[in-house]
């Protein structure tokens, strides 16, 4: 999987341009459905990543790209990663993409493209 052309609100994956948050699940790309997490927005000031979303847990490592650092991760997600023995790596999206380029085997991702 080739991840290129990242800029605010845009990412090119294998030649296809995406302008919304993404989930990479075992090599497949889909739009992040953040609607289930919107109810938690008020305390965070931003829609956080929560267990209410369909997170790609079938992996050894889950990389979360936080945009420029604005995407909050709820504590329950951190605990669930530990419970599942999934290494959770939280980085600004630009750095997350670099990590994915280097270490993609058995790695899934949630990528926030704005903020």
Whole-number pLDDT of residue 64: 98
- Global confidence as pTM: 0.95
Q: How far apart are CA 14 and CA 77, in angstroms?
A: 29
Whole-number pLDDT of residue 115: 83
Nearest residue to 70 via CA among 9, 11, 19: 9
Backbone region of residue 63 per phi and psi (left: phi > 0; alpha: psi in -120 to 50; beta: other values): beta
Q: What is the CATH number of domain 21-112?
A: 3.40.1230.10
* Residue ranges, the chain, pLDDT below 50: none
Q: How far apart are CA 113 and CA 115, in angstroms?
A: 7
Whole-number pLDDT of residue 105: 87
Domains in the chain: boundaries: 21-112
Q: How far apart are CA 62 and CA 81, in angstroms?
A: 8
Three-class SS state of 109: strand
Cβ-contact 11, 22 below 8 angstroms: yes
């Amino acid at each position: 999987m080739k991840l290129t052309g990242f800029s605010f609100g845009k990412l090119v994956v294998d030649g296809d341009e995406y302008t919304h948050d993404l989930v990479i699940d075992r090599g497949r790309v889909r739009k992040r459905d953040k609607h289930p997490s919107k109810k938690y927005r008020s305390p965070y000031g931003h829609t956080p990543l929560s267990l209410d979303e369909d997170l790609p847990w079938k992996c050894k490592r889950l990389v979360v790209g936080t945009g420029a650092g604005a995407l909050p991760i709820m504590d329950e997600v951190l605990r669930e990663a530990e419970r599942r023995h999934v290494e959770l790596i939280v980085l600004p999206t630009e750095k997350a993409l670099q990590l994915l380029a280097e270490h993609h085997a058995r790695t899934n991702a949630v990528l926030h493209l704005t903020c």
